[in-house]
Structure 1
Amino acid sequence: MRSVVLLSGGIDPVSGRPAPPAGEIAAIGLALSVGGAVGGLHAGAPVPALRQAAGHGLEQVDCLQGGGDAVAVLAEALFAAPPDLVLAGRQARGGEDSGMLPYLLAERLDWPLLSGVVAIGATAEGWLAVTIGLAQGARRPAQIRLPCILCAHDAAPAPPFVFDRARRAVLRVVPVTGEEGPGMVAVEGTERPYRARPRLIGTASGGGGTVLEHPDPAEAARVLRDHLRALGMLAPPREGAADA
């Protein structure tokens, strides 16, 4: 089993100093629990946070430098030498990070993805057993076909930091072009300006709801309209305009 952990140039939100996100350290721990070869992969130039991440159990981190965005260069490297397993944290911590990179990468490679993983089990006939962390400490078993991408839960066991391991880790610069391979899926998207959306869930004031038994259609429509307005999903009526 060959595993690759995606690493970012993490910044501590309090001190502003380089520090790997907790989710990426948890991803390293999950990769080490599987066994086999484990390496790090970073889109960009070597940064101090990578060496700190390597101190949790990585001997080498490949830093991809070339044209294209992070998804393109990562997809090129993974497509050229596909590992059995790719692991990532829940979200990078270097600036305006959205947490979408693993999902876009899975779409580009056409690989399955699972998030919130707290433990990894055995493999059988190309399937990998995992444990998903749910709310309030609940756990759920699942299976996913290899190769795949797993996003680690922040509560997954984190391996200890060893300073000598961080000092001896190799940060290797690998040139890439960021071009799409013949087997990759092209990802197309459209940038749109932010548009405020109505709340889908809210709390209406005034206590409980209204129970209608065999209502007239017009009365039922009026009650439903008033309820949606109380939830903030419908705009209030314009002054001087009658409700339809």
Structure 2
Amino acid sequence: MRSVVLVSGGIDPLSGRPAPPVGEIAAIGLALSVGASATGLHAGAVSTPALRQAAGHGLDRVDCVEGPGDAVDRLAAFLRVDPPDLVLAGRRACGGDDSGMLPYLLAERLGWPLLAGVIAVGAVTDGWLPVTIGLPQGARRQARVRMPCILCAHDAAPAPPFVFDRARRVELRIVPTPALPSVAADIAPNGIDRPYRARPRLIGATAHARAGQVLDHPDIAEAASVLRDHLRALGVLEPSQGAPLNE
């Protein structure tokens, strides 16, 4: 199984120094639990300091996709060329250039299923991947997802140790963005051009009659009469030929 881990340029919330988010380190641990190796994928410059720190937890290399378009477009175009079996990511941002919405937007763009809060993964059976989802107060839920898919790791998932030599020797590879599909090609099949159609007005133009009148402690008959006349002015009630309410 080939796994790819989305890595970002996170910032440690306490020290303010570049550091990979806890969720991304947990995602690396999940990737290593289903395969002997895993690669990182980053949308941005290869000089991001947190990339080597993330790679020190077990990544063989980190592919940095550079080029035009936003991060979601670049990552989606790269993954379409040679789709992996599994894409993993953290479930929240860490104050740097990362975004907690990126995995969800990427799953929508690729049309892949996504599960969040994954704390453990099992062995693949007939293209289905069993996972354990972490819930509040230590509860667990078993689920399975069709591959290829995107998993957002729970912060409590087992994190692999940091190896300084691995971080020093990891390959940070610059990858140009593949040809991005045109916007019209992505939108046209889902959009329908329709001619303008005037919407009916819910309240008639005669609503000005006695609108906004304030009654100070009226009796029941007077209040009912004012309310009836106002509803008739709005067109809610039809004009009545009957006797007034106070008779």
Aligned partner of 1:223 in structure 2 is none
Query: Does the 8 A contact of 2:115 with 2:152 survive in 1?
Result: yes
Relative to structure 1, the CA distance from residue 181 to residue 108 in structure 2 (aligned partners, 3 Å threshold; closer, same or farther) is farther
Query: Does the 8 A contact of 2:10 with 2:20 survive in 1?
Result: yes
Q: Any unmatched runs of 5+ in structure 2?
A: 191-213, 217-226, 228-247
Matched residue count: 192
Aligned partner of 1:107 in structure 2 is 108
2 CA distance for matches of 1:82 and 1:74? Answer: 11
Comparing 94-103 with 27-36, greater Cα deviation is found at 94-103
Relative to structure 1, the CA distance from residue 186 to residue 154 in structure 2 (aligned partners, 3 Å threshold; closer, same or farther) is farther
2 CA distance for matches of 1:97 and 1:118? Answer: 21
Specify the SS of the correspondent of 2:115: strand
1:99 deviates by 1.2
Q: Show CA shifts across 1:159-211 (max 9, x none).
A: 000000100101001011561389x96599xxxxxxxxxxxxxxxxxxxxxxx
Matches within 5 A, 1:193-204: none
Matches within 5 A, 1:1-244: 1-46=1-46, 47-95=48-96, 98-177=99-178, 179-180=180-181
Q: TM-score, normalised by structure 1?
A: 0.73
2 CA distance for matches of 1:53 and 1:27? Answer: 10
1:94 deviates by 3.6
2 CA distance for matches of 1:13 and 1:140? Answer: 30
1:91 deviates by 1.7
Relative to structure 1, the CA distance from residue 5 to residue 138 in structure 2 (aligned partners, 3 Å threshold; closer, same or farther) is same
1:75 deviates by 0.2
Q: State the AA in 1 paired with 2:13.
A: P
1 CA distance for matches of 2:97 and 2:58? Answer: 27
2 CA distance for matches of 1:134 and 1:173? Answer: 38
Q: State the AA in 2 paired with 1:43.
A: A
1 CA distance for matches of 2:179 and 2:215? Answer: 56
Larger radius of gyration between Structure 1 and Structure 2 = 2
